[in-house]
Structure 1
Amino acid sequence: MADDLLTDSVRLRAGWIVYNPNHYNGNIHTWLEEYKPSQINQNCGICWLSLRSPGTQECDESGVDESENGESENSNLDGLIESFDRLQASCRPINSQTLTELAQMFNVRVGKWMFFTDTGAKVDYLWEKVATNIASGALHPAISAKVSTADDTGSHVVLIYNNDFADKDEVYITENAIRNIGIKTKMCYKADAYTYMGIYTNNPWGVRPVLYTSMFDIQQGVSNILECSDLMNHENMDTT
């Protein structure tokens, strides 16, 4: 079944279907109708559906880029991880400042807003909103998005990426663009660099993996964004 799913799309790596207009015989609406997250089960080997915003990093001739989330070709993931290992062995503090310094040193800057939603028509509807606006460039400065396929939990996660987690203005503008297309659910924001360095909930250094949370006030029509330093508690939203 997995091979059938990949006939017209592109496999980024095992477990991915990536929309690329240069390698798909149809438009984004056709692709979304064909590949609905609620109707593709992870048991078939496909765990993620993904696409990029136009004008972002070019894909290679196979139709995919080297990094599914949009890290620059100048990013040095190996250097980041090796330096983090050395940091752990040193007497230097491990906190959000030192982690951000490492991420910037090795140009691992991508971050993402993320939210969870129920399977079925709800995830298909919300993913269509995100994907069509990514494909048109209307979610600028977002650079890419992905959604998990169906599993036994009955829940999906949608992730929307931007270039630089340390650029607060860019993070806030991306959040506003997401809200403007009608996404009103609770969201949180994480840095990919934290994930690569293993910064999850209950890590031994007490570093919070969530940098921001966003709650939308339906009555007021505005978002309330809190930085992690302002939070006493947050829900566990660990994912890749």
Structure 2
Amino acid sequence: MNMEPRIDSDTIASNLIEQMNQLRLTEGAGTMQEHASSQSSGNQQKGHLQIQRNHRGQILPNGLEPPSCIPFIRNDHGWVTCVLNDETSTISNIESFISHWRPSLIGPNNLVPEGCPWIAINRGNRHTPDSGPPRIAELEAAFMSLSQSHRTNGNITLTVSALDQLACQFNVRSGKWMIFADLNTVDSLWANVVRMVCIHRQRGFAKVAADSQKSDRVICVYVDDFTDVKEVMGLRQDLRRIGVEWKIKFKMDAYTYMGIYQSNSWGISPSRYVE
């Protein structure tokens, strides 16, 4: 398998951290409680389960029981995201999510709507830094100022260390391992990632590209702080346990916002690790 990225996993990355912040466990739990309360009330009034429909009004498959998975599905920025916590992360909910929202199936006859960019799982319990929300605009401005002085009067200002300091200063610390798969293998690989996040690690956030004109898909599995090397490498080891034994790359989200991609003019590798 050719592991060189043929699609950039962050072409819509300007929405990524906003999406992840909106899906904090506390918010997700509140949303799920509201849905569950409303649904329970409706069921008591009608005496039976309400029919669930997708965004097109189509009745959802019978295998997806309304009390289990449906209340935990959210649609933000066009994403399909399953938000689970310690109580709702059951085998039934996880398998329902995996079986009904598959990245290889897109279109009017499937649950994944056309144009959906990502399918995601948010398991919560994430280890987020205590320094407040990410300040992306400030990061971009600081990087622009630093890049303008790069190699001026012999100064090499764009170093890995300097960029790390910027990322930490403006609290843009998240990063991800990127796994590429073709349409024949992406569903099973994504299913293994979801189970790993929800059952084995019991924390975290992951997403898989759903809307792509190409024959491959990218799966991104996140850590909240790239400076926590133990967490970064622990996640990589867990990915090996589910069969991802080939070399994959780890990229900081800060590098995406700073515009550091392959063959950039500063000679900086966009990947922090290749393991």
TM over 0.5: yes
Q: Per-residue displacement from partner, 1:61-118 (whole Å, max 9, x unpaired)?
A: xxxxxxxxx7875221111111111112234511211111100111111111111011
Are positions 1:77 and 2:136 aligned together?
yes
**Structure 1 counterpart of 2:196, one-letter code:** N
Equivalent in 153, 156, 171 of residue 217 of structure 2: 156
Alpha-carbon offset, residue 181 of structure 1:
2.4
The answer (yes or no) to whether the contact 2:116–2:211 under 8 Å persists in 1 is no
Q: Which residue of 2 aligns with 1:234?
A: none
How many pairs were matched up? 198
Q: Which residue of 2 aligns with 1:37?
A: 103
Q: How far apart in 1 are the matches of 2:221 and 2:177?
A: 5
Are positions 1:195 and 2:262 aligned together?
no
Residues 28-177 of structure 1 mapped to structure 2, 5 A cutoff = 28-40=94-106, 44-56=114-126, 73-90=132-149, 91=152, 93-120=157-184, 122-136=185-199, 138-139=200-201, 143-177=204-238
**Structure 2 counterpart of 1:86, one-letter code:** S
Q: How far apart in 1 are the matches of 2:124 and 2:165?
A: 29
**Structure 1 counterpart of 2:274, one-letter code:** T
Bigger Rg, structure 1 or 2:
2
By percentage of residues, which structure has more helix? 2
The answer (yes or no) to whether the contact 2:114–2:211 under 8 Å persists in 1 is no
Q: How far apart in 1 are the matches of 2:115 and 2:180?
A: 21
Any stretches of 5+ residues in structure 1 without a counterpart? 58-69, 215-240
Q: Percent identity?
A: 31
Deviates more, 1:99-108 or 1:168-177: 168-177
Distance 1:5 1:132, change over 3 A: farther
Q: Per-residue displacement from partner, 1:119-163 (whole Å, max 9, x unpaired)?
A: 03x111010000122122x236x6211001153311010111012
The answer (yes or no) to whether the contact 1:77–1:106 under 8 Å persists in 2 is yes
Any stretches of 5+ residues in structure 2 without a counterpart? 1-53, 61-69
Q: Which residue of 1 aligns with 2:267?
A: 206
Q: Per-residue displacement from partner, 1:26-70 (whole Å, max 9, x unpaired)?
A: 61110111100000259811010011223238xxxxxxxxxxxx7
The answer (yes or no) to whether the contact 1:47–1:148 under 8 Å persists in 2 is yes
Q: Which residue of 2 aligns with 1:3?
A: 55
**Structure 2 counterpart of 1:38, one-letter code:** S
